[in-house]
Amino acid sequence: MDRPDIPPDVVIRRLPLYARSLRYLIDEGVLSVSSQELGERINVTAAQIRKDLSYFGEFGKQGIGYDVEKLLAHIERILGLTHSWPVVLIGVGHLGQAIARYEGFHSKGLQIVGLFDTDPAKIGQTVAEVLIRDYAEIQGVIREHQVRLAIIAVPASFAQSVADTLIDAGVRAILNYAPIVLQAPEDVWVRNIDPVAVMHSMTYYLAREG
Amino acid sequence: MDRPDIPPDVVIRRLPLYARSLRYLIDEGVLSVSSQELGERINVTAAQIRKDLSYFGEFGKQGIGYDVEKLLAHIERILGLTHSWPVVLIGVGHLGQAIARYEGFHSKGLQIVGLFDTDPAKIGQTVAEVLIRDYAEIQGVIREHQVRLAIIAVPASFAQSVADTLIDAGVRAILNYAPIVLQAPEDVWVRNIDPVAVMHSMTYYLAREG
């Protein structure tokens, strides 16, 4: 089977799900897993898993399955998670605070190094032991820590201006919670967390069921 | 051009973004919009917009563009947003509270009718004027209000059990914030909000940029 060089984005988006399932398996003390078993955990076929992984090399042995720890280490290497990425979070309202407290964000590979807001009542406080700083300082912090990743949790009307400021200082990937489609240069990755849009895509199907 | 009968899911997922952009245009007092202008707001080509909308009928006129209010009304009808859908939210921790307070969820078409938790200290309190009830009551509330939509914001270890309970009572669409892939029957829609997985898919690309 030919191995294409560039894995499609949909494959890249599945890799973190594989990694998380493998971490659960390690917690459960499982040492080896078949593509069938791994697939059942994330609703993907065994064939799909084998195809996805084939972009990155040869894994597992026919009839034996994957060594869980080795496969996890390999996927984490592929995802660039062998070192920790500093992250800034802008907007410390209810949502921003929930994100800052979310343990998942302190998991392997991601470290929130700064929270930023413009509200004087919030600046100087801490959330989950991270200091809330004045948004006016953000470009300095991004440059100092060489931050490439940012989370935007400000109201929609401020989000584009914040994105422009972040990108100007060197941010290259943005997780955007504001309900607006951000404009960004082609070399900047923007992914949106948009629960209302997702809900509305489900009401479409429910409405059809009558 | 032939009009296929079943629009792909990727088209359904874009419709809420079109709807939101059209609402912004109405707020700005714009009455008419070209597919070009609409596309620029959501990083989609004019051709893609025309193709997406062609699944649902004939819209706009060559050289004149779309009537903003009419197109919005039509898309809302397609998405089943002409009436309000009752929604239950399970798990009123920091994340659940942020979701309950999020104004977007109280926008057209979605109404959170109940918050549920197992923590006696939370039960009886309100968030954004919605009562937090005992999780033990949830199946009764779902049946009483004929709830089809639910939001899960509980820890990963409880999420599957909660999903099973919801589905058993009649829920047919779940927005899942827990970092786990839920197992559900084929006639139940499950969509995941998974910010860490999204971040990890971006570190993949950043790691490659060196």
The rounded percent of chain A whose pLDDT value lies above 90 is 85
Closest by Cβ to A175, choosing from B12, B87, B199:
B199
Q: Decide if A10 touches B, using CB distance below 8 A.
A: no
pLDDT in tens, A165-207: 999 999 999 999 999 999 999 999 999 999 999 999 999 999 9
Query: In chain B, what are the domain boundaries?
Result: 9-78, 85-197
- Contacts of residue A134, defined as CB under 8 A and 6 or more positions apart, other chains included, come to A116, A117, A118, A123
Return the SS3 of A102: coil
| CATH 3.30.930.10 holds for B85-197 | no
A37 pLDDT band (50/70/90 cuts)? Answer: very high
Q: What is the ipTM of this complex?
A: 0.93
pLDDT of residue A103: 79
Return the SS3 of A88: strand
Q: Which residue has the tokens 């509270």?
A: B97
Q: Decide if A95 touches B, using CB distance below 8 A.
A: yes
Closest by Cβ to B191, choosing from A107, A189, A202:
A202
CATH of domain B9-78: 1.10.10.10
Q: B-contacting residues of A 15-34, CB under 8 Å?
A: 15-17, 19-21
Q: Decide if B55 touches A, using CB distance below 8 A.
A: no
CA distance B45 to chain A (A): 14
* pLDDT of residue A107 exceeding 90: no
pLDDT of residue B32: 94
H helices present in A130-194, as ranges: 138-145, 156-169
Q: Decide if B169 touches A, using CB distance below 8 A.
A: no
Q: What is the dihedral of CA A108, A109, A110, A111, to 10 degrees?
A: 80
Q: Which two tokens stand for residue A120?
A: 């004087």
pLDDT of residue A210: 60
* pLDDT of residue A4 exceeding 90: no
- Cα–Cα distance between B71 and B49 in angstroms, integer? 12
pLDDT in tens, A112-171: 999 999 999 999 999 999 999 999 999 999 999 999 999 999 999 999 999 999 999 999
* pLDDT of residue B2 exceeding 60: no
Q: What is this structure's pTM?
A: 0.92
Give the H/E segment covering residue A192: strand A189-192
